[in-house]
């Protein structure tokens, strides 16, 4: 049996409805046609991810720059070895 894949838009709507707390978990689950455990799981994932949304974008850019720099150093090293071999 194949697992269902839900869109991130649906997951965000369900999680937002659960966080608001205007409806019970069972009401949200029946409204969206999913199991109640998914509502709880998506709510938990959304709450855990919230600090990342408001995180420092400069730190993210720095990390990406470090990864790119490391990749370039590896490429230069590989090319240097090939040149020495020739």
Determine the pLDDT at residue 30: 96
Q: Are residues 12 and 38 in the same domain?
A: yes
In whole angstroms, what is the distance from residue 41 CA to residue 55 CA?
22
Q: Are residues 62 and 29 in the same domain?
A: no
Model pLDDT for residues 46-79, shown as the tens digit of each residue? 999 888 777 776 777 788 889 999 999 999 988 9
Q: Are residues 28 and 69 in the same domain?
A: no
Q: Are residues 61 and 34 in the same domain?
A: no
User: What's the domain range around 1?
Assistant: 1-54
Q: Are residues 4 and 30 in the same domain?
A: yes
**What 3-state class would DSSP assign to 60?**
helix
Q: Are residues 41 and 24 in the same domain?
A: yes
Mean pLDDT of 4-9: 92
Residue found by looking up tokens 């049996």 in the block: 1
The count of domains in the chain is 2
Mean pLDDT of the chain: 89
Model pLDDT for residues 75-85, shown as the tens digit of each residue? 998 898 888 88
Q: Are residues 79 and 41 in the same domain?
A: no
In whole angstroms, what is the distance from residue 70 CA to residue 76 CA?
10
């Amino acid at each position: 049996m194949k697992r269902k894949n839900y869109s991130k838009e649906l997951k965000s709507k369900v999680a937002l409805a659960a966080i608001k707390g205007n409806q019970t978990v069972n009401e949200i689950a029946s409204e969206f046609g999913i199991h109640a455990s998914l509502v709880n799981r998506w709510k938990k994932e959304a709450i855990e991810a919230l600090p990342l949304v408001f995180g420092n974008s400069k730190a993210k850019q720095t990390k990406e720059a470090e990864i790119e720099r490391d990749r370039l150093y590896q490429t230069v090293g590989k090319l240097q070895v090939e040149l020495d071999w020739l």
